[in-house]
Structure 1
Amino acid sequence: MARHADVLFVTALAIVAASPVRAAERQNISIAPGRLGEAAIALGRQTGASIGMSDQSLAGIATPAVHGRLSVEGALKRLLRGSGAAIRRIDGNTYRIVRAHAVHEQRRIAVAVPTSEIEQEPAEIIVTASKRDTPLPRYAGMVDAVGDNGFTAAEAAGGTASLIFRVASLSSTHAGAGRNKLFIRAIADSGVAGPTQATTGQYLGDMRLNYAAPDPDLKLYDMQGIEVLEGPQGTLYGAGSLGGIVRMIPNAPNLGRAGGQISAGLGATQHGDPSGDLAATINLPIISEKIALRVVGYGVQDGGYIDDVLRHRNDVNRTRTYGGRAALRFAPDENWTIDLTGVYQRIKGDDAQYAAKLIGDLKRASAVAQPYSSDYALANLRIERQWDDLRFVSSTGFVRNILSESYDATPPGGPAALFRQRNKIDIFSTENRIVRDLDNGLGWILGASYLESTSDIRRSLTSYGTPPIETQVIPGVPMYGRGLPASSTGVHNRIREATLFGEASFEPVTGLIATIGGRLTNSRLSGEALDPIAFLSVAAIARAEAQANRNETIFLPSLSLLTDALPGMTLYARFQQGFRPGGLAVDDQHIQRFRNDRASTLELGFRKGVPGVDPVALTGNVAYTRWRDIQADVTDRIGIPTTANIGDGRIYTVEGRVAVRPVPRLTLDGSIIFNDSRLSRPTQFVRMLSYEGQMLALPNVANWGGRIGFDYRAPVGGDMRFHLSGSARYVGKSRLGVGPILGREQGDYVDTALSASLSRGAVQWSLSLSNLLDSSGNRFSLGTPFDLRGDYVTPLRPRTVRLGLDFAF
């Protein structure tokens, strides 16, 4: 059975006896509900048209009944509506059904529940982050997908926090929006944001969002969907994907229809200030079916709820975010698509997000305010060319992210002091790949990419006392007093990566798919000290910089086996690797390089049914990860962020998920994850901080996590729709860092949410509640790194209610 062969005309034999007619003529057509393959054959028999498809996996898509006097093209449009497929006319009586890579992109902007949503059959789930548009039943790995514009306006305003609440395997530090580190499964290095590369790759479409920087926390307005791929993704995504990747898929400009949406919300937080959000989206075809522009703009204010008793100020931790996204699409013909995208977002936090437990759940005592800000800008050009089942994709772009942070560095009994750190990151990247999508997840990809990332971290210490000041916070850094800053040693890192990669899936025997791949990367690394203090010797700086300037070549293999020989069941085994290049780091007394690290994961899993499609869908996975020369952003003895290799580690992960549709209008889902992570071979300086021979838990990895939720949709009256959803997520215990100083516990809390909406036509009213139990919890145990022994906690946002209004036009 040549399941992998191109199936150009699947109905040719079925219609040889039919008399051909003009395709545009209307005919009496009657097709029962079923699957696309049978529907295409029936339509061909009834009309004499030749109807084929190049991807046989499309044959299993559910189709509605079609009755009436219709043309062939009209009947096909009804069959394919919302299916994830499109028609391509070959000649007057011949049609080809193809996978519509942008089928969701062409939808009109809609309110949360389209009129026909209850009646529509769910479409097939396609894992586009595989870069080969793999059907979910034939993807060898764990994936979480939120699709079909699945984020409400309230969730979109929450940004990454909303995604974390939905995905049990995704976690984060909680230092504040725009400065958090994301982790997938248990691949977490530390809670401090320094010069190391992220363990989780983040993408907007095909454009990389971050490198040696935290999560930019882009708001999720006008998103078609988000995919989270778990485990190393080194073959397709390269460096910085040790834990997995998060890929956001924005709605593309609609070439055929103008439209838009306005969303507004007001929120009230118990024990805190009010919040609000406002967003607008507009889609404008400039030349019908050729050029269109889509623009999104938003502003979000999250009211504060932390009181500073020393400075006598309430609700100090207010955060404001504003930004937007613009996309211009040019489609000169059906085979070419050119997209130009620009993004800008600014986050400004008035103060830090932590509290001191001994003072109160929502209180602390700081000598100075600790504001922070994140300025993020992106430009991307994407070009796609289609030849039947062959695609060429080129994506080139530039990112600039400026993150400014400040920490209370006031010494005991000394004058108020503030430590500032500014990290400017520039990323240029380009990737060019050619892809062949064969039927049912088979095919291959071959590509090349180049990336250049620079990071400039500059630091200063400001004292607000009056001279003479004898106290020293950082050795070698003076304290001038009177608010005058003194420079502290910073660091510059540059990485240039040139890469060749490829992956192919084939079916050696019926029902068994083998996928092999590899990525060859050459990295050129360089680093230097910025504004070095006199305390550091010139010889030590020169030696460290010489060690940091080097050339590395690394090969990452991958292999997976998948079988769907058992009816309705998928079994798979997968081996994959990921790595991060090294760099240069500084602390209070040293400047030194850190080496690259590599994670290797072997996992076994199964999948039964497709969530949202089948009445019951089950997924399970067991994974073992070996992580060598772990890079971690840590703090030195006095609190300055730095980077070091902390040793080798191993991680066991067990996951399970279930989604149940007892009736078409109700969906129940649940997920659970268990992590056992250990630093099995700590380096010498880590052993000095802990008990000799002890296996230490890796930081920021909850041992247990889980989520349960429900989603109910139903008509109310003749023209209204009601939507009710709720969920609860448990985050288990973890530790802030390695060793007794940073080893404080965090986590062990439950977060809850409930939302309801009522839609009528183009208008939707919504009411949402978060943290229903008004629990404080402890999401993150780091306050100021200059006081590592304090009892600091980062509480959950207290109980919050939001009233929202959405209007589509």
Structure 2
Amino acid sequence: MYIERILRVTTSALALATVQPVYAQSGQVAGSQGSQNFPSSSPDEQVQEGGGDIIVTALRRKGTVQSTPLSISAMTGDSLAAMGATQLQDYFRQVPNLNVAQGVLGQNRVSVRGIGGIGEATTGLYFGEVPVTGPSGTVGDPGNNAPDLNLYDIERVEVIRGPQGTLYGGSSMAGTLRIIFNRPKLSKFEAGMEGQYATTQGGSDSYFAKAMVNVPVVDGVLGVRMSGYYEQRAGYIDNIRLGRKNINDMTAQGIRLLIGFEPGPDTNVTGTFIYQRSDADDAQGWFPSVGDLKTNTPVILPFNNRFKLYNLTGTHDFGGVTLTVSGAIYRYDVLRTLDFTPSVTAISYSPAACQGYYAQATPCSDAQYAAYNSYGLSQTPALGYQPGYLRTQTAEARLASDGDGWLQWTAGLFYERRRDYIDSHVTKAASDGSAPDPLQDISYRFIANRLRQLAGFAEVSVKPVEALTLTGGLRYYDYEKTTAGQALLGSVLTSSIVSPYTERTAKSNGWLVKLNASYEFSPRFMAYANAAQGFRPGGANNIPSLQGDLVTYAPDSLWNYEVGVKSRWFGDVLTANAALFQIDWQNIQVAARTSDGLFTFLANAGGARIRGAELELSAEPIKGLNLTAAVGYVRGKLTSDQVIASFQNASAGGKKGDPLGMAPWSVSASASYDWELTPELDGIVRADLTYSGKGRNGFNPADPYFTTQGDFATLNIRTGVQNKRLGAYLFVQNVGNVNGVASRVSTFGSTNMSFSIPPRTVGINVRLNY
């Protein structure tokens, strides 16, 4: 509570520092989206002269989008603000072949080029220098819990498509998403704020307040940058059974503190502290069988998470070689709740469960069945109550060459230690559907995970001739992952039995390879070819009564083969980047279910081949008019049956030749135009259009857990005025009021839980800078 009070006071105090805002230069975003306003870092940090190409560090050394021989998109913080993006769900559709499967609060599964699924993350997520992941939960699925920070006061987002295993490690088998924060400026005072209010059709209102201040403490030597935010997101889902409206509203509040220290011209040290708290009072999903944006769950399902990160990063330039050392500790606390009522109800009517209840070999008598049925129903409504936490330590040290000579190289070491824990209670809910205090447990177990990972990596680029660059990369990895647990209270109503403490360990080591060649036909046209390997760790299941040979599962891996071009045309008026790729994915980690359908576990089954393309266009045909378009296409199919050895109840159930479930198309386009209204006042209008193709979860439509989502288009528009003192904008999101289903989940007794984009939302946004 103390931190929350600090957040509110800090945000209000920072807002007072914006009495005399000034307008900052605007420019074109290269390699990605539209126009930008109120830049959050200096122009020499964001763009190069003569073309607005964004500087990126995707190769662990400074380059640009157009000079990096990879399929990469970059968006500045100003570009994200211009489209009204404050979290992952607000901008990922602008990036070709990037997908974020929406779930309950704190549950986001990030995938690139159709590579995604249960288990460890397939797309690496970095906050600055720190790789972050979520807790494993009861299923060993940290990839479904990607932390989602508010995107205020950031320098840029980089999305690197294709495996980045050599430089970024095991969880970057499909690509890497990097969020880079604005660093403290040591010789310049800055302050700013942003406020917004909006109303959502059929739902509640939403608003946020954000503020930032940058203070040089010792000119040129020591500086502090602090930002704070509070956001209330609208709810628009109603629970018709409990008579609760707009149950999916949520709040997020946070603070970010960066301290910059430069004791000399060649040394820089940055300390970072991040705190974010997110809370949702109830379920985020709805059921089509009940009605659009309606649910009838008999329980209240709150979700919340707390994220804290401490990072210290230092760099030193030895003259031609830069050393970077980074160490971080982060903590992620979560509370997840689930509706167990359908499961407990179904088991209450099961004759086989009745036998188990009385521990007898013969069927229950009528009297026994009636007594058992009455007991089972008396435990409803039932609630899954699952508090958990994650504690992680990471460290990395690397050396990288400077300049642009004939030889460029990067080499480093990486260490990670991760520990997470979750309590899994199934409790009878209180009379109003909430979690009782104290809990009235029907069953209880806990699961704990430990992971230790070591790696060494290197990439070397040589230029045998001026226009040709050849790159080779290697990474050696060694990990050990242990899963432990114990069931302390069992119940036939949850198909669980009391069991002793057990733990199992999975370990592996090996090499990852990357090969890349690029050729600059001219300063404005480059072609490249890339072959890269990716993997993600295996692990162990801790599921009641799971047969022994299915407890552990192995890593899965892939090869990505890619060709692409980076180009500029008509005197830099048009930028066009494109890529074609093929991915061969082996030993895929898949979700399977126990024979009673109550528990999900991980196993290895089958392989797949994915082919696709990406195209990004941006143009400024006349002064003030910026146009962008992006298209992603991906099509995959199984190259072998998804059959789990000795177990035929795999939920995937795919056969060789079956298509994978990813949405084949993602399309986006934007247009923005700004013009001078008066000598001191500019006008601006912007439109963003996105289309998400139809995707599906599973292979066989006859599977009771098979679902589909996607196949919708949305339009956002924004208009306003801005000058050297402020900006004020009106906006409409989801102009067509489309009920776009971003993702769906089916579980035992819960069919087609749907997560949608918000209905039409109209609002006003105001920004100030000083």
Name the TM-score class by shorter chain: 0.7 to 0.9
Pair 1:456–1:656, CA change in 2 (3 A): same
Shift of 1:403: 2.3
Q: Corresponding residue for 1:343? A: 274
Secondary structure of residue in 2 paired with 1:130? coil
* Count of matched residue pairs: 678
Secondary structure of residue in 2 paired with 1:711? strand
Structure of higher CA gyration radius:
1
Task: Tell me the amino acid that sits aligned with residue 799 of structure 1.
Answer: R
Residue pair 2:654, 2:699 contacting (<8 A) in 1 also: no
1:304 aligned to which of 235, 238, 241: 235
Distance 1:656 1:573 in 2: 16
Q: Which moved more, 1:427-436 or 1:642-651?
A: 642-651
Q: Corresponding residue for 1:565? A: 521
Shift of 1:759: 1.2
Q: Confirm whether residue 464 of structure 1 aligns to residue 426 of structure 2.
A: no
2:121 aligned to which of 187, 198, 203: 198
1:184 aligned to which of 103, 106, 112: 112
Q: What does the per-residue CA deviation read over 1:334-382, in whole Å, with 9 as the maximum and x for residues that have no partner?
A: 1110000000101111122222213221112111111111111100000
Pair 1:82–1:654, CA change in 2 (3 A): closer
Q: Corresponding residue for 1:208? A: 131
Residue pair 1:646, 1:686 contacting (<8 A) in 2 also: no
Q: Confirm whether residue 370 of structure 1 aligns to residue 332 of structure 2.
A: no
2:287 aligned to which of 356, 361, 370: 356
Distance 1:692 1:374 in 2: 35
2:325 aligned to which of 369, 382, 394: 394
2:707 aligned to which of 725, 744, 747: 744
Distance 1:704 1:435 in 2: 38
Q: Corresponding residue for 1:672? A: 631
Distance 2:500 2:638 in 1: 30
Pair 1:761–1:438, CA change in 2 (3 A): closer
Shift of 1:752: 1.7
Task: Tell me the amino acid that sits aligned with residue 333 of structure 1.
Answer: G
Shift of 1:755: 1.3
Shift of 1:567: 6.2
1:778 aligned to which of 725, 741, 752: 741
Pair 1:752–1:441, CA change in 2 (3 A): farther
Q: What does the per-residue CA deviation read over 1:285-344, in whole Å, with 9 as the maximum and x for residues that have no partner?
A: 111111011001001111110011111111111111001100001111111100000001
The CA RMSD measured in Å over matched residues stands at 3.1
Q: Corresponding residue for 1:787? A: 749
Task: Tell me the amino acid that sits aligned with residue 767 of structure 1.
Answer: L
Task: Tell me the amino acid that sits aligned with residue 482 of structure 2.
Answer: S
Q: Confirm whether residue 706 of structure 1 aligns to residue 662 of structure 2.
A: no
Pair 1:153–1:663, CA change in 2 (3 A): closer
Q: Corresponding residue for 1:767? A: 730
Q: Confirm whether residue 131 of structure 1 aligns to residue 60 of structure 2.
A: yes
Pair 1:607–1:109, CA change in 2 (3 A): closer
Distance 2:593 2:227 in 1: 39
Q: Confirm whether residue 505 of structure 1 aligns to residue 461 of structure 2.
A: yes
Residue pair 2:105, 2:304 contacting (<8 A) in 1 also: no
Q: Corresponding residue for 2:687? A: 726
Q: What does the per-residue CA deviation read over 1:571-601, in whole Å, with 9 as the maximum and x for residues that have no partner?
A: 1110111211122223343271221111211
Distance 1:626 1:771 in 2: 37
Pair 1:540–1:141, CA change in 2 (3 A): farther
Pair 1:690–1:210, CA change in 2 (3 A): closer
2:100 aligned to which of 172, 179, 184: 172
Distance 1:513 1:176 in 2: 45
Q: Corresponding residue for 1:41? A: none
Shift of 1:421: 2.6
Distance 1:187 1:558 in 2: 18
Q: Corresponding residue for 2:4? A: none
Pair 1:294–1:539, CA change in 2 (3 A): closer
Q: What does the per-residue CA deviation read over 1:612-660, in whole Å, with 9 as the maximum and x for residues that have no partner?
A: x821111221111112222245554434443332432221122222222
Secondary structure of residue in 2 paired with 1:452? strand
Q: Corresponding residue for 2:534? A: 578
Pair 1:646–1:407, CA change in 2 (3 A): farther
Task: Tell me the amino acid that sits aligned with residue 578 of structure 2.
Answer: G
Pair 1:692–1:540, CA change in 2 (3 A): farther
Q: What does the per-residue CA deviation read over 1:499-554, in whole Å, with 9 as the maximum and x for residues that have no partner?
A: 11000111122311100010001112222124455687999975xx3xx3244211
Q: Corresponding residue for 1:624? A: 582
Task: Tell me the amino acid that sits aligned with residue 147 of structure 1.
Answer: T
Q: Corresponding residue for 1:75? A: none
Shift of 1:165: 3.1
Secondary structure of residue in 2 paired with 1:297? strand
Pair 1:335–1:745, CA change in 2 (3 A): same
Distance 1:734 1:461 in 2: 32
Task: Tell me the amino acid that sits aligned with residue 597 of structure 1.
Answer: D
1:283 aligned to which of 195, 204, 214: 214
Secondary structure of residue in 2 paired with 1:165? helix
The 5 Å alignment of 1:655-666 reads: 655-666=614-625
1:605 aligned to which of 564, 588, 613: 564
Distance 1:730 1:392 in 2: 43
Q: Confirm whether residue 159 of structure 1 aligns to residue 87 of structure 2.
A: yes
Shift of 1:686: 6.1
The 5 Å alignment of 1:401-420 reads: 401-411=332-342, 412=345, 414=377, 415-420=380-385
Task: Tell me the amino acid that sits aligned with residue 704 of structure 2.
Answer: I
1:683 aligned to which of 643, 656, 660: 643
Shift of 1:251: 0.7
Q: Which moved more, 1:218-227 or 1:172-181?
A: 172-181
Secondary structure of residue in 1 paired with 2:578? strand
Pair 1:276–1:112, CA change in 2 (3 A): farther
Shift of 1:208: 1.4
Residue pair 1:188, 1:698 contacting (<8 A) in 2 also: no
Task: Tell me the amino acid that sits aligned with residue 216 of structure 2.
Answer: P
Secondary structure of residue in 2 paired with 1:355? coil
Q: Corresponding residue for 1:475? A: none
Q: Corresponding residue for 2:187? A: 256
Shift of 1:565: 2.5
Q: What does the per-residue CA deviation read over 1:470-498, in whole Å, with 9 as the maximum and x for residues that have no partner?
A: xxxxxxxxx99995024433322211111
Q: Corresponding residue for 1:496? A: 452
Distance 1:343 1:133 in 2: 25
Distance 1:617 1:518 in 2: 32
Shift of 1:672: 1.2
Distance 1:82 1:365 in 2: 49
Task: Tell me the amino acid that sits aligned with residue 721 of structure 1.
Answer: D
Sequence identity (%) = 24
Distance 2:395 2:665 in 1: 38
Shift of 1:741: 2.6
Distance 1:549 1:777 in 2: 42
Structure 2: which 5+ runs fail to align? 1-24, 29-36, 135-141, 347-376
TM superposition score normalised by structure 1: 0.79
Pair 1:154–1:575, CA change in 2 (3 A): closer
Residue pair 1:536, 1:590 contacting (<8 A) in 2 also: no
Secondary structure of residue in 2 paired with 1:151? helix
Secondary structure of residue in 2 paired with 1:565? strand
Secondary structure of residue in 2 paired with 1:369? coil
The 5 Å alignment of 1:620-659 reads: 620-633=578-591, 636=594, 637-659=596-618
Residue pair 2:427, 2:440 contacting (<8 A) in 1 also: yes
Pair 1:782–1:118, CA change in 2 (3 A): closer
